[in-house]
Amino acid sequence: MSNGNVPAGGVVLSRLSKSYGQVRAVASIDLAIAPGETVALLGPNGAGKTTTIDMVLGLARPDAGTVSVFGEPPAAAVRAGWVGGMLQTGSPLEHLKVRELVALMASYYPHPLPVADVLRLTGAAQFAGQPTTKLSGGQAQRVRFAAALVGDPDLRAVAGRGKTVLFATHYLEEADAYADRIVLIARGRVIADGPATEIKARAGARAIRVTLPGTDTALLGALPGVVSAERHGDAVLLSCSDSDAALRGLLGSFPGARDIEVRGGSLEEAFLELTAGAETAGASTGGEPR
Amino acid sequence: MTNVTHLRFEIVRTVRNRTFLGVTLALPLVLFYAVAWGQRHATFDGISFPLYFMTAMAVYGAMFAAVSPGSRVARDRSGGWIRQLRITPLRARTDVAAKVLTAYLVALPSLALLYLAGVSLGVRLDGTQWLEMTGLLLAGLAPFVVLGIAGGYLVQTDALGPAIGGVVVLFALVGGVYGFQLATSGPMFEVMKAVPSYWLVQAGKTALGGGTWPAQGWIVIAAWTAALIPVAALAYRRAAVRA
């Protein structure tokens, strides 16, 4: 096989699951990524992002389900040079300079890009002669990017543009900046999947918790900036697209409202809100053993 | 399947590790002169002591050189580089082949330095004898090269030094590398003859008589190598999937 075969079919994950001991890292994931698409797997720590990407790259074996990378199993796609990436965990190599590390990565691929071009493109050229062990965080990130880019693989497991890209992040801003499509993952499942703008609005939303007995939740749901209202005994949870407008409306229309709490900001909480009810309160969240 | 760049950088990384290279090359030399200087006119087991001890220290140094890729494997593993390699088209056997070659490239100068030291204390062999001895030593190092690589995949970085060092010292002791034999007959002697380091020590003596190991030597070396290869392969698979 060579890079000359045009890979088709994109990346398809079906009913993928994986446990580490008692920890269910990935419960069941179905996902189809079209060639050329840039997809961010977004989720809190322990959501199953890393495990999912490991299975796509052939670094972890699924307990059940399948992964197809351009029509091939991950191992075959990797051997053909279709897959590339620089793992976040990958520390630099001792006794090698930046230029040498990138040249080394290039040597593994059938049709690499010129090392000098990649160094220049990624801004790593200025420190190409430095040992890979003596880099700042930003420089290391550039080197990672250069190393992922230089093999010119068809699937990249790192943020970037051009080819099919799949990357994991727990920063909404990062997902929004690089991806066309965001797949929200929590507790090893896909809980939302759509264009970046849409998911950003949902995941970035705030929630208002208010104690307001005996009020019709439909009235609360109709307030400006409120997406939905849910009653939990005397308390009501308002999921908001605009929490400021919702708060003004709430205080204006319902003077009896008390114990008002505006929650959100943190992605973790947004996830918990989004997944609340999907599982019982005692359910454990998945871990990501490293 | 070879990858010249990969092999080149394996060597570059080894050579740039000055402390490792210095200790690996100098330690057996220092030991050789420390012990053999005072006994340069003595004979041992029918051969001149400097020749006997040159072989012993050449074996000692080469054994440490042979297991040396293990520490690089362990560091690459803990740093995540092994996982990184797994998502490139580089084949595992190409990577391992480069490490085996690198091990021999460190072992060769280590041997050469000990030969020079031997000559400086009066060791004289003809060309065939030097070549036969070197050939046997290189063949006898095979199980140690595999042992080092397997150790690198199996043992945590901070425990690897003592673990591998300890195993090599144990082999050296049982094999008679330090210049004395634990036994010359009986069951202990049979145990000695079953370890690869014993045959490394015999390489010098055998070559002196002009010839090669008896069949037992080849069988012991081949058996240890064949037994350790699956261990290394298993360790590699375990390390790569979840490091």
For the stretch B175-227, pLDDT in tens is 988 877 788 888 989 999 999 999 998 887 777 776 788 999 999 999 999 99
**Chain B partners of A104 at a C-beta cutoff of 8 Å?**
5-6, 9
In a domain, A121, yes or no: yes
**Chain A partners of B84 at a C-beta cutoff of 8 Å?**
86-87, 90
In a domain, A226, yes or no: yes
Query: Mean pLDDT in chain A?
Result: 81
Find the helix packing angle between B157-175 and B127-154, rounded to 10°.
140
* Domain match, A167 and A61 both: yes
| Number of domains chain B is built from | 1
Q: What is the CATH number of the domain that holds A73?
A: 3.40.50.300
Question: pLDDT grade, residue B118 (50/70/90)?
Answer: very high
B222 to chain A, minimum CA–CA distance in Å? Answer: 32
Selecting from A59, A79, A289 the residue whose C-beta is nearest the C-beta of B83 gives A59
Range of the domain at A254: 205-263
pTM, two decimals, is: 0.76
Tokens for B71?
A: 């520490």
In a domain, A47, yes or no: yes
Would the CB atoms of B84 and A59 count as touching at under 8 Å? no
Return the residue of A nearest to B90 by Cα.
Answer: A108
* Domain match, A119 and A225 both: no
Return the H-helix or E-strand segment holding B1: none
* Domain match, A168 and A49 both: yes
* Domain match, A179 and A232 both: no
* Domain match, A167 and A184 both: yes
Selecting from A78, A90, A91 the residue whose C-beta is nearest the C-beta of B89 gives A78
Selecting from A93, A109, A110 the residue whose C-beta is nearest the C-beta of B13 gives A93
Q: Which of A1-5, A130-134, A198-202 is predicted least confidently?
A: A1-5
What pLDDT, on a 0 to 100 scale, did the predictor assign at position A218?
87
* Domain match, A105 and A190 both: yes
Range of the domain at B29: 4-241
* Domain match, A177 and A248 both: no
Question: pLDDT grade, residue A281 (50/70/90)?
Answer: very low
Domain end (from A200, A217, A252): A200
* Domain match, A87 and A55 both: yes
Summarize the confidence of residues B142-149 as an average pLDDT: 94
What pLDDT, on a 0 to 100 scale, did the predictor assign at position A63?
94
Q: What is the CATH number of the domain that holds A221?
A: 3.30.70
A-B Cβ pairs (cutoff 8 Å, strict)? 82
A55 to chain B, minimum CA–CA distance in Å? Answer: 10
Domain end (from A155, A171, A200): A200
Asked if pLDDT for residue A267 goes beyond 90, the answer is no
* Domain match, A62 and A23 both: yes
Would the CB atoms of B6 and A87 count as touching at under 8 Å? no
Residue A107 · residue B96 · CB < 8 Å: no
* Domain match, A124 and A242 both: no
* A270 vs A41: which has the higher pLDDT: A41
Summarize the confidence of residues A262-271 as an average pLDDT: 60
Hey, which of A192-201, A279-288, B108-117, B182-191 has the most confident mean pLDDT? Answer: B108-117
Asked if pLDDT for residue A5 goes beyond 50, the answer is no
In a domain, A268, yes or no: no
* Domain match, A152 and A255 both: no
pLDDT tens, residue by residue, B225-236: 999 999 988 888
| Number of domains chain A is built from | 2
Probe site for chain B from A94, A100, A109, A288 (most B CB atoms < 10 A): A94
* Domain match, A102 and A218 both: no
